[in-house]
Amino acid sequence: QLQLQESGPGLVKPSETLSLTCTVSGGSFSSSSHYWGWIRQPPGKGLDWIGTIYYSGSTYYNPSLKSRVTISVDTSKNQFSLRLTSVTAADTAVYYCARTPQYDISRFDSWGQGTQVTVSS
Amino acid sequence: DIQMTQSPSSLSASVGDRVTITCRASQSISNYLNWYQQKPGKAPKLVIYAASSLESGVPLRFSGSGSGTDFTLTISSLQPEDFATYYCQQSYITPPITFGQGTRLEIK
C-alpha cells in the first residue's frame, strides 16, 4: 500500500530556508505513471498548491511562490523535496506531500499525513 | 488565476439529511473539478474527480455534478463520518491549481 511521509524541521527562523522531504514507500516512485506534489494549509485556512514534480525532474510551481520554491527528486531514495527560501510568518502551515496520476496532475489521490512548520524566531 | 468560490461556508445538518455544497468557478473550467473531504487533523481525501466520477472506495451516497462554472457535491444521506470540511479544486488552467475556501459541514 502506498505511503507518503513528510519529514523536516518543525521550526524555521524568519528569512531562513524551509526544507522538507517526502519519502514514498509501497509503490513505484520512478514510474512514468505519477506526478508528486506539495500543498500547504495555514492554520485555520484552506489549501494552497505549492508545486508538482515528475520523476524526470520536470516541475510546475505556483506563480505566487515561484521565486522562492524549488522542488527536486531523488529517485534512488524514493524521495522528493521542497525548499522554500526567505520564509516569513505567512509560511507557517501544515505541509502535505501528495501523488497525482500522470494523466491528471491536479488530482491528488494519495496524501501524506502532513507536517507542521512554524516560522518564528 | 481561476478563483473558486464555495457556498455555504458552513452548514449544519443531521444524520440522514441530504446535503448539497456548491462551488463556482470564476471562468469556465469544463468538468475539471475535484472534491476533497478533510477531517480535523487529517490530510484531505479525494472524493470526486472530473466533476462527477466517484473515487475508488468512496461511498455511493456521494455524488458530484456540474460543468462550466457551477458544480455541486451532494451527500444523499449524511452519516456521522461525513461531518468534515469539503474543498473543491479546479484543474483546468494550471498553474496554479486552485482550491475553494472550504465548506464546513457540522452536526446539527
Q: What is the dihedral of CA A50, A55, A57, A62, to 10 degrees?
A: -10
d(CA A38, CA B35): 17
Q: Which residues touch B8 (CB under 8 Å, ≥6 apart)?
A: B21, B103
pLDDT on residue A105: 86
**A-B contacts at Cβ under 8 angstroms:** 62
pLDDT at B103: 98
CA distance B108 to B105: 9
- Nearest-angstrom CA–CA distance, B29 and B93: 8
Closest CB to A96 among B43, B96, B98: B43
Nearest CA in chain B to A106: B91
Spatial separation of the C-alpha atoms in residues A72 and B108, rounded to whole Å: 45
Chain A residues in contact with B44 by the CB 8 A cut-off are 47, 96, 108, 111
Residues B64-77: pLDDT tens digits? 999 999 999 999 99
List CB contacts (< 8 A) between A104 and chain B: 49-50, 91
For residue B100, the chain A residue with the least C-alpha distance is: A46
Q: Which residues of chain A have pLDDT under 50?
A: none
Nearest to A39 by CA among A121, A109, A120, A119: A109
Look at residue A113 in the predicted model and tell me its pLDDT. 98
Is the separation of the CB atoms in B52 and B60 below 8 Å? no
Q: Which residue of B has its CA nearest to A109?
A: B46
C-alpha–C-alpha distance, residues A87 and A61, integer Å:
17
Per-residue buried b or exposed e for A66-95, using 16+ beta carbons within 10 Å of the residue's own CB: eebbbbebeeeebbbbbebeebeeebbbbb
Q: What DSSP string describes B58-83?
A: --TTEEEEEETTEEEEEESS--GGG-
* Cell numbers standing for residue A23: 519519502
Range 68-97 of B in CB contact (< 8 A) with A: 87, 89-91, 94-97
Residue A55: its pLDDT value, please? 85
Cβ contacts of B14 within 8 Å, gap of 6 or more: B78, B107, B108
User: In a 3-state reduction of DSSP, which class is residue B51?
Assistant: coil
**Residues of chain B with confidence (pLDDT) below 50:** none
CB A8 within 8 A of CB A96: no
Model pLDDT, residue A81: 97
